[in-house]
């Protein structure tokens, strides 16, 4: 690869995530995260060439294009600033846009930042119902909950997965989150706790579903020259890929479909492209960490399979066996606790990316997995429609 | 500053934004046909696919859809769920929704499933597994809206 | 930059594009761009969309619009700032080496969206929304500030409005609106002083799509010819809060143009033959011209926003006019011998954001 196409993460920052930050406005939260990332990178605001803001529907905050409000607060005044929005995948798309800013040679340093304040409106689910087609789908209570429930029900039918297996995913996530100072939900719970929580939409009980989190995240990305002077151990972005599907979920089911909705098989296409760019040929052995976009307990297994870590339908049995546990010698799945424990919708994909990058940079604190050479971060948006895969590596291509 | 803020303030706000969406010709024809208890899928002669919901173009071939196929009034469940929690502005639970691929159509379309006892959720969902055949039932007086019909289990 | 424009299409503008859903407008425009480029959708490897949910009236508009924009099973992303910003992001993606050939697509069905209400909701809730700022009002504030700063008189603004309509009428691709009569001009009501209705470019419905490719792809494409090279890019965002410097200073406008000239290989204003401005009002046009300080380039021969104004992507429409200029295809308004053209786009409260792209003939 040509010299100027190397792209590295040299700093990250996250606020603590919780239901509400009554004492910080949106713009103050994003500034907190941006400052942390800058401090870690050793750069001053003056050194940042361009800013990218990750923000999904601003309707939750009740301010249209809230990113514009935040411009000065993220040190972007009079600089190139743009906002990337692909629904829940926004954070993943934003880090990929940063990659383009640098690998194209246009800029040397980019700050990627985002925040969300879901609790600003109690009508979050109403808003999420509005993403569906007005004529054909809004009437049927399609929500982010039911659309994923449908995918899960189909997965269970195809592979015999059970609600208990998904409950074990939640137990592992909450336990992992105990090592994460920023996570929203954390603690020791049991499979019974999950199974006894109120039913929401089959197969979900309350504990199968992520919290609504407020908070912010930021990353500083640079070219190789700046990385060499600022960081002893940057995380190189060696693979960037995304894939988009038809919005109609019904197109991805059935005999004649080109895709299988319950397998998230679009992600396999994106992952393959990612691995090709990075020269990874054996994902299960080459990748030590995967920070997944997993707001629901059932999101993990199909993604694990689509990322090539095991065969189709096998992820559940391996999970039961402890095969995805933190630092157990296989691929550690969502060591941060993942989106199941922390979901600031508009920036969630960026939090995944930051949690993956810090593993490579060896700054993951108590979450640190041993010998991380490659870490994958995923993000999903729309009706399981937009998938992004970003690979972070200890060495550049 | 000689005042300390004891409690962060909250400023209430609300918005009500109206839009007018034009249906275009394709959706218009689909809804007209519903009034006659007919379900029309748009089809593409290049790819051979027939789509519900109907659309003006084929994603696979990226050509305009150039025909209509009348969907059968029976089909197979591809995915289903039973909703038991109340969400803002959405129906009172419990209710079931399913994606059904009607006979003659390539893709599946969502609608309510009625006529099932939903009080025991695991028992009910077992009756809505992918592969289960269902039939379409129309309202007595269709209005040209997607809620003019729903699904019921066969047998 | 080693990025080229292979093809493009602009949806025929109208006050209201009736009889088509937004998705159908976007599909028609995207297909037309592919046809113009002589490229099949199967050949493209990425799509960059630029759109605003609030202006589209949907909570995540790309869910429904990604497919008609050609993104099925493709690597697709979306920015929300402006159509011309989308072209910058797309160009960087191609220049990164990860992608070879793709689409940039943007649209705005202004007839369906309550534009002023959407803009009003961009005000933060604490200090400005209780006062009530929307697009017309902030443009009024802008107009007042630039009159003060650049000595623009109401008569000059009126004259510019008449000129703008006259120039727009020469562009066969525009709306073809008749220039306002003197009676209509005098009768035109104030919107927010000193801005009157007649000074504002009316909104229209529209969509734009471009096919862009790397030089590498072009050289292997068996003789396909580009229309233009994307020579330089620049975009800047000014601070959010309005104040005199922010309104009349035009730092973002100047900065974006400087960046585009610099990345274009150290170009100077004298190297430009054409500048297509996204001036939403007559006051904007005069202020931008004052900020440019008397360049030799022809300014807005395509008529700018007065020819058509699908607000969110007017800057991208300007880009198509700029490409036409350097490929000798700007029928009706061709500037003879044009080799380099700059397209400008603006967005945000009182033009918080500016984008500039320089095209070079090939």
**Shortest CB distance from C76 goes to which of A77, A242, A246?**
A242
**Shortest CB distance from C240 goes to which of A51, A71, A130?**
A71
| Averaged pLDDT for residues A18-34 | 88
| Averaged pLDDT for residues C53-64 | 83
Q: Which band of pLDDT confidence, cut at 50, 70 and 90, is reported for residue A72?
A: confident
Strands A214-223 and A109-117, sheet pairing: antiparallel
**Shortest CB distance from C57 goes to which of B21, B24, B26?**
B21
pLDDT digits (tens, 9 = 90+) for C6-44: 999 999 999 999 888 899 999 999 999 999 999 999 999
**Shortest CB distance from A150 goes to which of B60, B81, B109?**
B81
Q: Is B118 on the interface with C (CB under 8 A)?
A: no
Q: How many domains in chain B?
A: 1
CA nearest C352: which of A71, A55, A74?
A71
Q: Which band of pLDDT confidence, cut at 50, 70 and 90, is reported for residue A2?
A: very low
Considering only residues 108 to 127 of chain A, which have any Cβ-Cβ distance to chain B shorter than 8 Å?
A: 122-123, 125-126
Is A244 in contact with C255 (Cβ distance < 8 A)? no
**What is the domain-level CATH number for residue C8?**
3.40.47.10
Strands C228-237 and C353-361, sheet pairing: antiparallel
Phi, psi of A81 (to 5 degrees): -135, 135
pLDDT digits (tens, 9 = 90+) for C96-124: 999 999 999 999 999 988 788 788 877 77
Q: Under a CB-based contact definition with an 8 Å cutoff, are residues C362 and C227 in contact? A: yes
Name the CA dihedral angle for C143, C144, C148, C151, rounded to a multiple of 10 degrees: 40
Between CA C360 and CA C87 the distance in angstroms is 15
| Residue C16, both tokens | 């209201």
Give the model's pLDDT for residue A211: 92
Considering only residues 277 to 336 of chain C, which have any Cβ-Cβ distance to chain A shorter than 8 Å?
A: none
Phi, psi of C309 (to 5 degrees): -145, 70
Give the model's pLDDT for residue A61: 58
Give the model's pLDDT for residue A128: 59
For residues C346 and C59, the model is more confident at: C346
Helical segments of C264-338, H only = 282-292, 314-326
Considering only residues 70 to 99 of chain A, which have any Cβ-Cβ distance to chain B shorter than 8 Å?
A: none
Is B82 in contact with A262 (Cβ distance < 8 A)? no
Does the structure show a pLDDT above 70 at A145?
A: yes
Give the model's pLDDT for residue A48: 97
DSSP C54: H
Cβ-based contacts of A139 with chain B (< 8 Å): 145-147
Which helix (H) or strand (E) is C136 found in, with range? helix C135-150
Residue B45: asked if its preceding bond is cis (omega within 30°), the reply is: no
Give the model's pLDDT for residue A110: 98
Cβ-based contacts of A112 with chain C (< 8 Å): none
Residue of B nearest to A259 (CA): B107
Domain coverage including residue B104: 24-153
What is the architecture, at CATH level 2, of domain A3-122+212-222? Answer: 3-Layer(aba) Sandwich (3.40)
Residue of B nearest to C31 (CA): B62
**Shortest CB distance from B27 goes to which of A135, A142, A251?**
A135
Give the model's pLDDT for residue C196: 92
Within-domain flag for C62 = yes
Q: Determine the distance in angstroms separating the CA of B21 from the nearest CA of chain C, rounded to an integer.
A: 6
Q: How many domains in chain C?
A: 1
Q: Which band of pLDDT confidence, cut at 50, 70 and 90, is reported for residue A3?
A: very low
Percent of chain C exceeding pLDDT 90 equals 77
Does the structure show a pLDDT above 90 at B137?
A: yes
Does the structure show a pLDDT above 70 at B13?
A: no
Considering only residues 127 to 146 of chain A, which have any Cβ-Cβ distance to chain B shorter than 8 Å?
A: 129, 133-137, 139-143, 145-146
Cβ-based contacts of B83 with chain A (< 8 Å): 141, 146, 200-201
**Shortest CB distance from A254 goes to which of B80, B84, B101?**
B101
A/B interface, count of CB pairs below 8 Å = 136
Does the structure show a pLDDT above 70 at C50?
A: yes
Does the structure show a pLDDT above 70 at B14?
A: no
Q: Interface pTM (ipTM) of the complex? A: 0.95
Give the model's pLDDT for residue C137: 83
- Give the relative orientation of helices C251-263 and C282-292 as an angle to the nearest 10 degrees: 50
Within-domain flag for B114 = yes
**What is the domain-level CATH number for residue B98?**
2.40.50.840
Is C21 in contact with B62 (Cβ distance < 8 A)? no
Which contacts qualify for A299-305: CB closer than 8 Å, 24 or more apart?
Answer: A299/A148, A299/A339, A299/A380, A300/A169, A300/A324, A300/A333, A300/A334, A301/A155, A301/A161, A301/A165, A301/A169, A302/A151, A302/A155, A302/A262, A302/A263, A302/A264, A302/A267, A303/A264, A303/A267, A303/A378, A304/A331, A304/A333, A305/A263
Domain ranges of chain A: 3-122+212-222
Between CA A136 and CA A348 the distance in angstroms is 29
**Shortest CB distance from C70 goes to which of B55, B62, B64?**
B62
**Average pLDDT along chain A:** 91
Cβ-based contacts of C78 with chain A (< 8 Å): 84-86, 93
Within-domain flag for B14 = no
Q: Which band of pLDDT confidence, cut at 50, 70 and 90, is reported for residue A142?
A: confident
Is A244 in contact with C71 (Cβ distance < 8 A)? yes
Helical segments of chain A, H only = 26-41, 66-70, 90-103, 124-129, 144-159, 163-177, 191-196, 224-230, 265-278, 283-286, 300-306, 315-320, 338-341, 348-361
Q: Is B146 on the interface with C (CB under 8 A)?
A: no
Of A66-80, A336-350, C162-176, C255-269, give the lowest mean pLDDT range. A66-80
Which chains lie within 8 Å of chain A at 3 or more CB pairs, if any? Answer: B, C
For residues A116 and B114, the model is more confident at: B114
Domain coverage including residue C27: 3-113+203-219
Q: Is A244 on the interface with B (CB under 8 A)?
A: no
Is B59 in contact with C129 (Cβ distance < 8 A)? no
Q: Is C113 on the interface with B (CB under 8 A)?
A: yes
Within-domain flag for C258 = no
Q: Which band of pLDDT confidence, cut at 50, 70 and 90, is reported for residue B15?
A: low
Is B81 in contact with A251 (Cβ distance < 8 A)? no
Q: Which band of pLDDT confidence, cut at 50, 70 and 90, is reported for residue A66?
A: confident
Of A6-20, A141-155, B17-31, B102-116, give the lowest mean pLDDT range. B17-31
Q: Determine the distance in angstroms separating the CA of C304 from the nearest CA of chain B, rounded to an integer.
A: 27
Q: Under a CB-based contact definition with an 8 Å cutoff, are residues C330 and C321 in contact? A: yes
Q: Which band of pLDDT confidence, cut at 50, 70 and 90, is reported for residue C136?
A: confident
Is C62 in contact with A87 (Cβ distance < 8 A)? yes
Within-domain flag for B46 = yes
Q: Is B20 on the interface with C (CB under 8 A)?
A: yes
Considering only residues 363 to 382 of chain A, which have any Cβ-Cβ distance to chain B shorter than 8 Å?
A: none
Give the model's pLDDT for residue A1: 36
Within-domain flag for C279 = no
Residue of B nearest to C112 (CA): B20
**Shortest CB distance from C98 goes to which of A58, A93, A240?**
A240
Residue of A nearest to B54 (CA): A136
CA nearest B122: which of A199, A158, A148, A154?
A199
Q: Is A72 on the interface with C (CB under 8 A)?
A: yes
Q: Which band of pLDDT confidence, cut at 50, 70 and 90, is reported for residue B27?
A: confident
Cβ-based contacts of B125 with chain A (< 8 Å): 153, 202-203
Residues in chain A: 397
- Give the relative orientation of helices C282-292 and C135-150 as an angle to the nearest 10 degrees: 40
B/C interface, count of CB pairs below 8 Å = 55
Which chains lie within 8 Å of chain C at 3 or more CB pairs, if any? Answer: A, B
Which helix (H) or strand (E) is B69 found in, with range? strand B67-70
Does the structure show a pLDDT above 60 at C341?
A: yes
Q: Which band of pLDDT confidence, cut at 50, 70 and 90, is reported for residue C135?
A: confident
Percent of chain A exceeding pLDDT 70 equals 91
Does the structure show a pLDDT above 80 at B6?
A: no
Within-domain flag for B19 = no
Is B17 in contact with C117 (Cβ distance < 8 A)? yes
| Residue A208, both tokens | 């199968």
Is B108 in contact with A253 (Cβ distance < 8 A)? yes
Does the structure show a pLDDT above 60 at C334?
A: yes
Within-domain flag for B86 = yes
| Averaged pLDDT for residues A255-281 | 93
Give the model's pLDDT for residue C241: 77
- Give the distance from CA C256 to its chain's centroid: 14
| Averaged pLDDT for residues A156-177 | 98
Which helix (H) or strand (E) is A293 found in, with range? none
Burial of B14 (0-12, 13-18, 19+ CB in 10 A): exposed
Cβ-based contacts of B54 with chain C (< 8 Å): none
pLDDT digits (tens, 9 = 90+) for A44-61: 999 999 999 998 876 655
Give the model's pLDDT for residue A133: 62
Residues in chain C: 362
**Shortest CB distance from C53 goes to which of A57, A270, A273?**
A57
Does the structure show a pLDDT above 60 at B64?
A: yes
Q: Determine the distance in angstroms separating the CA of C58 from the nearest CA of chain B, rounded to an integer.
A: 9
Of A100-109, A303-312, C50-59, give the lowest mean pLDDT range. C50-59
Cβ-based contacts of B129 with chain A (< 8 Å): 157
Between CA C125 and CA A62 the distance in angstroms is 8
pTM for this prediction: 0.92
Q: Is C126 on the interface with B (CB under 8 A)?
A: yes
Is B27 in contact with C21 (Cβ distance < 8 A)? yes
Cβ contacts of residue C159 below 8 Å, gap of 6+? Answer: none
DSSP A198: P
Q: Under a CB-based contact definition with an 8 Å cutoff, are residues A327 and A373 in contact? A: no
Between CA A137 and CA A130 the distance in angstroms is 9
Between CA C49 and CA C70 the distance in angstroms is 10
Within-domain flag for B15 = no
Considering only residues 218 to 277 of chain C, which have any Cβ-Cβ distance to chain A shorter than 8 Å?
A: 233-241, 251-252, 255, 259, 263
Does the structure show a pLDDT above 90 at A165?
A: yes
Cβ contacts of residue A54 below 8 Å, gap of 6+? Answer: A83, A84, A85, A90, A91, A93, A94, A112, A113, A114, A346, A347, A349, A350
Q: Determine the distance in angstroms separating the CA of C63 from the nearest CA of chain A, rounded to an integer.
A: 5
Does the structure show a pLDDT above 80 at A268?
A: yes
């Amino acid at each position: 690869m040509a010299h100027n196409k190397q792209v590295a993460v040299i700093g990250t920052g996250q606020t603590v995530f919780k239901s509400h930050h009554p004492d910080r406005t949106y713009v103050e939260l994003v500034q907190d995260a941006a400052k942390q990332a800058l401090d870690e990178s050793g750069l001053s605001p003056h050194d940042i060439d361009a800013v990218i803001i990750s923000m999904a529907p601003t309707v939750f905050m009740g301010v249209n294009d809230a990113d514009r409000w935040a411009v000065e607060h993220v040190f972007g005044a009079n600089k190139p600033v743009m906002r990337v929005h692909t629904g829940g995948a926004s954070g993943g798309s934003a880090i990929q846009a940063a990659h383009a800013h640098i690998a194209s040679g246009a800029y040397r340093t980019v700050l990627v930042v985002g925040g969300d304040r879901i609790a600003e409106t109690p009508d979050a689910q109403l808003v999420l119902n509005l993403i569906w087609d007005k004529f054909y789908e809004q009437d049927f209570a399609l929500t982010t909950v039911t659309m994923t429930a449908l995918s899960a029900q189909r997965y269970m039918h195809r592979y015999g997965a059970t609600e208990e297996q998904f409950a074990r995913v939640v137990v592992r996530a909450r336990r992992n989150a105990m090592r994460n100072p920023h996570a929203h939900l954390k603690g020791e719970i049991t499979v019974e706790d999950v199974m006894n929580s109120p039913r929401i939409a089959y197969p979900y009980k309350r504990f199968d579903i992520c919290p609504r989190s407020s908070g912010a995240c930021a990353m500083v990305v640079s070219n190789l020259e700046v990385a060499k002077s600022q960081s002893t151990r940057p995380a190189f972005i060696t693979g960037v890929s995304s894939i988009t599907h038809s919005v109609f979920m019904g197109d991805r089911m059935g005999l004649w479909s080109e895709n299988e909705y319950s397998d998230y098989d679009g992600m396999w296409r994106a992952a393959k492209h990612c691995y090709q760019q990075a020269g990874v040929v054996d994902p299960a052995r080459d990748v030590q960490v995967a920070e997944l976009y997993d707001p629901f307990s059932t999101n993990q297994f199909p993604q694990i399979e689509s990322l090539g870590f095991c065969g189709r339908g096998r992820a559940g049995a391996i999970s039961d066996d402890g095969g995805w546990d933190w630092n157990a010698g296989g691929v550690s799945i969502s060591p941060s606790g993942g989106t199941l424990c922390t979901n600031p919708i508009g920036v969630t994909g960026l939090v995944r990316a930051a949690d993956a990058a810090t593993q490579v940079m060896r700054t993951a604190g108590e979450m640190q997995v041993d010998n991380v050479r490659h870490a994958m971060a995923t993000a999903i948006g729309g009706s399981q429609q937009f998938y992004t895969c970003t690979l972070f590596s200890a060495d550049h291509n | 500053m000689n005042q300390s803020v004891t409690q962060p303030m909250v400023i209430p706000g609300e918005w009500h934004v109206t839009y007018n969406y034009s249906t275009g010709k394709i959706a218009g024809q689909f809804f007209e046909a519903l009034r006659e208890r007919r379900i029309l899928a748009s089809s593409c002669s290049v790819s051979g696919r027939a789509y519900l919901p109907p659309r003006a173009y084929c994603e696979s071939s990226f050509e305009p859809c150039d025909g209509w196929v009348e969907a059968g009034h029976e089909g197979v469940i591809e995915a289903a769920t039973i909703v038991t929690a109340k969400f803002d502005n959405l129906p009172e639970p419990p209710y079931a929704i399913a994606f059904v691929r009607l006979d003659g159509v390539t893709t599946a379309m969502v609608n309510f499933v009625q006529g099932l006892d939903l009080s025991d959720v695991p028992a009910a969902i077992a009756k809505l597994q992918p592969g289960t055949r269902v039939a379409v039932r129309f309202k007595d007086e269709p209005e040209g809206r997607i809620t003019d019909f729903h699904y019921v289990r066969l047998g | 930059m080693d990025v080229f424009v292979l093809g493009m299409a602009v949806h025929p503008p109208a006050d209201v594009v009736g009889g088509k859903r937004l998705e159908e407008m976007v599909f028609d425009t995207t297909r037309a761009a592919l046809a113009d480029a002589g490229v099949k959708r199967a050949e493209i490897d990425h799509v960059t969309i630029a759109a605003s949910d609030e202006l589209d009236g949907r909570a995540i508009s790309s869910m429904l619009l990604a497919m008609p924009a050609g993104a099925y099973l493709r690597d697709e992303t979306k920015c929300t700032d402006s159509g011309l910003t989308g072209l910058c992001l797309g160009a960087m993606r191609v220049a990164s080496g990860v992608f070879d050939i793709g689409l940039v697509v943007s649209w705005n069905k202004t007839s369906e969206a309550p534009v002023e209400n959407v803009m009003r909701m961009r005000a933060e809730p604490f200090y400005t929304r209780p006062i009530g700022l929307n697009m017309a009002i902030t443009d009024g504030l802008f107009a007042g500030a630039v009159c003060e700063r650049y000595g623009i008189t109401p008569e000059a603004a009126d004259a510019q409005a008449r000129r703008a309509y006259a120039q727009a009428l020469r562009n066969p691709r525009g709306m073809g609106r008749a220039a306002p009569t003197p009676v209509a001009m005098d009768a035109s009501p104030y919107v927010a002083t000193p801005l009157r209705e007649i000074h504002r470019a009316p909104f229209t419905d529209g969509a734009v799509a471009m096919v862009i490719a790397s030089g590498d792809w072009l050289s292997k494409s068996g003789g396909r010819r580009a229309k233009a090279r994307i020579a330089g890019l620049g975009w800047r965002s000014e601070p959010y809060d309005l104040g005199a410097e922010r309104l009349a200073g035009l730092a973002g406008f100047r900065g974006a143009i400087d960046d585009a000239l610099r990345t274009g290989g150290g170009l100077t204003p004298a190297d430009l033959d054409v500048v297509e401005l996204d001036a939403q009002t007559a006051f904007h046009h005069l202020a931008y011209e004052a900020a440019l300080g008397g360049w030799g380039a022809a300014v807005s021969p395509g008529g700018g926003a007065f020819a058509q104004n699908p607000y969110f992507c007017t800057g991208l429409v300007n880009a198509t006019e700029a490409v036409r200029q350097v490929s000798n295809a700007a029928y009706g308004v061709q500037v003879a011998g044009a080799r380099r053209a700059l397209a400008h786009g603006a967005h945000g409260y009182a033009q918080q954001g500016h984008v500039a792209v320089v095209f070079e003939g090939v």
